[in-house]
Amino acid sequence: STVPAATRRLGPDASGLAEAAALLRAGGLVAFPTETVYGLGADATDADAVTRIFAAKDRPRFNPLIAHLPEAEAAFAEGDFDEHARRLAEAFWPGPLTLVVPAHPKTQISDLARAGLPSVALRVPAHPLAQALLAGVGRPVAAPSANRSGRVSPTRADHVLADLAGRIGAVLDGGDTQVGVESTVVACLGGTPRLLRPGGITRAALRDILGLEPAVPASADADRPAGPGMLASHYAPRARVRLNAAQIEPGEAVLLFGSARPAGHKRACAALNLSPSGDLAQAAARLFGALRDLDASGADTIAVVPIPAEGLGEAIGDRLARAAAPR
Ligand code: TXA
Ligand code: MG
């Protein structure tokens, strides 16, 4: 059967890796760690395997997937890279960057993974387990974040199992991910590259390499998402999320950053600090786990203090805005 009854937790060793690669080569679903978040992998060249990703996540099929490759050379065979794309790949791969480029006429990546688009999203992750797994599979691996569609992305194996146990073959357990927010998605489709999703590579780092400011997405309003999957409501915990909280109401949970304390914070039913020292990289790494943990406190609202928008703060603010969007 294609829907496994029990999901196995595989260790981060040679036998776990071999089993994960074999499952993927046989058309199964395996979640695995990348440096950003855990991905839900399937053989990107196998339309049936890709179909299982959409089913396991309840993901709308118009939302295309990222294909993961073990090295840049393999990615160059799947898409047409212009000068901007080449430069970004050279600077940031392996790493938390996804490039959307025109699909190569001979791409192996199935139409379904690309949601029928003429473009393809490619990424070479830096996590050693991801690299070893991709090398073992020997084919592009499609992998969205390993959460139920619309929910908070997973940064550890337990998060994957909380959302997908019984729906996927296995999770390769590599502990906590390091970056904590997803890859930056940049479209290089002619003209100025467009920043489709802020993520682990900052806008300033893109600007440094490109020598220009990346363009905004073609349509930046909520009803017509910039990327096919950039819906306004996303990353949603069960609780309501309230941003830029200056004051805490009784019964709310509070998500803190740095040393600032909103008025009434002592009456919060639960509190977590993303980074007491005000370090945005640490805050990004803790963000999704903190949202899951505060959700588990049972509070009906998570109040979030203001977080600076520079550097990784842009990606943090993007995820929090989607978590707070009307559902
Ligand atoms: O860090 C990450 O990127 C993680 C790890 C697992 O690699 N993956 C991830 O995948 O976040 P996912 O599916 O949750 O997000 C992929 C984003 C979506 O917003 C999707 O719409 C966009 O990339 N995307 C994929 N292909 C595209 C394309 N051809 N054109 C525009 N956007 C595309
Ligand atoms: Mg996702």
Give 50-69 pLDDT, tens digit per residue: 999 999 999 998 999 999 99
List residues, by chain if needed, whose CB lies under 5 Å from ion ligand 2: 145
- Residue 215 counted as domain residue: no
- Ligand 1 centroid – CA 199 distance (Å): 11
Domain boundary among the residues 210, 226, 259 is at 210
- Full residue range of the structural domain in which residue 135 is found: 8-210
- Residue 222 counted as domain residue: no
- Residue 1 counted as domain residue: no
What's the total number of domains in the chain?
2
Please say whether the beta carbons of 140 and 129 come within 8 A: no
Q: What's the rounded Cα separation, in Å, for the pair 106 and 49?
A: 20
> For position 4, what pLDDT does the model report?
52
Integer angstrom CA distances of residue 119 from 104, 223, 227, 323: 8, 22, 11, 28
Pocket residue to mutate for ligand 1, from 145, 159, 233, most atoms within 8 A of Cβ? 145
Any idea what the CATH number is for the domain that residue 57 is in? 3.90.870.10
Note whether 260 and 137 are same-domain residues: no
Strand partners, 302: 241, 253
Note whether 48 and 180 are same-domain residues: yes
> For position 227, what pLDDT does the model report?
58
Note whether 92 and 189 are same-domain residues: yes
Note whether 115 and 156 are same-domain residues: yes
Relative to beta strand 119-123, strand 97-102 is antiparallel
Q: 244-286 pLDDT, tens per residue?
A: 999 999 999 999 999 999 999 999 999 999 999 999 999 999 9
- Residue 268 counted as domain residue: yes
Q: ipTM score of the complex?
A: 0.99
Please say whether the beta carbons of 253 and 271 come within 8 A: yes
Preceding peptide of 94 cis, ω within 30°: yes
